Amino acid sequence: MKLNYDLNLLRTFHALYLEQNVTRAGERLHLSQPSVSAALSKLRELFNDPLFIRDRQRMRPTEKAEHLFPTIETALTDLDGLINSERHFAPDTECRHFEIAANDYFEVLVLPQLAAILREQAPGITIQVRRLSQDMSEAGVMSGTTDLAFGRQVEPPENLVVREVIREGIDCLVGNGHPLLERLDSAGRMRKEDFEQHAHVLVQPHTRLKSGIFKQLEGHGLKREVALAVTYFMAVPSLLERSPLIASLPTGLCQHFSDQFSVTTVAPPVAFASFPFHLSWHRRYQKDPAHRWLRDQIIECCRNSGE
């Protein structure tokens, strides 16, 4: 028997499953709440199941909805990839908006280069950078509502494509008048006692991953007295200019801040291992020519920022 159904019903199912809220699903699909409710009624009839049951503040998926979701998401992803791959793309005429979830490392070192490229080659492409949240799923990249994520990925889901774009070291940053600058060892490295005796400013991670310097400090037996914790890398240099604090930051940021502020980059008392930054995207965008072009530009910007 031939079935006749509206493909948009599957998109509504997908949005409801991700949002578990009729209003938010409507916002995702640019539909009114009554339209989403009407689509849900048709979905229930099509699959002969309630699919979503109201539970306090959310629409809880039924067992059948849980079973259907992976197949529906795969089908929509493959269909979107097929359609996107056939689109004509020319940077100078493309008009499109992209959202990128990232921290201010990206905004400081990568975005200025990217903005210059867009201004010269693709003036119709606009970018909105959103803060990389505690959970990558909250950032929207896992569902494809956010186009790209810049940050570290550990054990990503199968629907994400992940590429390492930068590998960074860790250096220390201090104000130009910091007393420890007169006490560096013969190799120009900060002494362990100075690292431990002087107070530090910490950039609090916006993700649950604390595998960078946190674990390395423990591994090397280094102690760190944190006097201030801030939420942005950009808050650090002005603090160091006015206090005898120490900051441990990615090497690229240390070099950038040393050029722009009255601060000095100093090698830490031990050699910290490098760590990666990843560029991630939902696989439905893998063959999208505009998305691929933007990814290539970001990857090139990352390569240049490390030189």
Per-residue pLDDT of 165-192, as tens digits, reads 999 999 999 999 999 999 999 888 999 9
SS3 282: strand
Is the pLDDT confidence value at 49 over 70? yes
Is the pLDDT confidence value at 287 over 90? no
Which residue shows structure tokens 């809220």? 21
Average pLDDT, the chain: 86
Please give the pLDDT value at position 208.
46
Which residue shows structure tokens 């031990």? 270
Please give the pLDDT value at position 195.
93
Please give the pLDDT value at position 85.
65
Range from 104-113, 137-146, 260-269 carrying the lowest mean pLDDT: 137-146
Nearest-angstrom CA–CA distance, 109 and 152: 16
CA distances from 233 to 8, 211, 237, 256 (A): 43, 18, 8, 11
Region class of 221: left (phi > 0), else alpha (psi between -120 and 50), else beta: left
- Quote the tokens at residue 199: 């107070």
- Residue 167's beta-bridge partner residues? 276
Nearest-angstrom CA–CA distance, 196 and 203: 17
CB 157 within 8 A of CB 129: no
> Helices 289-305 and 111-121, interaxial angle, to 10°?
130
Please give the pLDDT value at position 215.
75
SS3 221: coil
Is the pLDDT confidence value at 145 over 80? no
- Residue 35's beta-bridge partner residues? none
Mean pLDDT of 213-231: 83
Please give the pLDDT value at position 140.
65
Mean pLDDT of 143-152: 83
Residues of the chain with pLDDT > 70, as a percent, come to 89
Mean pLDDT of 81-90: 72
CB 246 within 8 A of CB 44: no
> Helices 7-19 and 63-85, interaxial angle, to 10°?
120
- Residue 201's beta-bridge partner residues? 228
Is the pLDDT confidence value at 53 over 80? yes
For residue 152, what pLDDT band results from cuts at 50, 70 and 90? confident
Q: Please name the helix (run of DSSP H) or strand (run of DSSP E) that holds residue 10, with its range, or none.
A: helix 7-19
Please give the pLDDT value at position 134.
55
294 vs 78, which has greater pLDDT? 294
Mean pLDDT of 91-103: 91
Q: Which domains does the chain have, with CATH numbers?
A: 7-85 (1.10.10.10), 96-165+276-305 (3.40.190.10), 170-273 (3.40.190.10)
Count Cβ neighbours within 10 Å for each residue of 73-96 and write b for 16 or more, e otherwise: beebbeebbeebeeeeeebeebee
144 vs 267, which has greater pLDDT? 267
Taking alpha carbons only, the member of 202, 208, 212 closest to residue 246 is 202
260 vs 57, which has greater pLDDT? 260
Bridging pattern class, strands 96-102 and 125-131: parallel
CA dihedral 292, 296, 297, 299 (to 10 degrees): 130
Mean pLDDT of 62-85: 82
Please write down the HEC assignment for all residues of 104-122.
HHHHHHHHHHHHHHHHHHC
Is the pLDDT confidence value at 97 over 50? yes
Please give the pLDDT value at position 135.
53
Is the pLDDT confidence value at 212 over 70? no
For residue 115, what pLDDT band results from cuts at 50, 70 and 90? very high
CB 180 within 8 A of CB 133: no
Nearest-angstrom CA–CA distance, 274 and 65: 43
Mean pLDDT of 69-82: 80
Helix (DSSP H) and strand (DSSP E) numbers for the chain: 11, 12
286 vs 164, which has greater pLDDT? 164
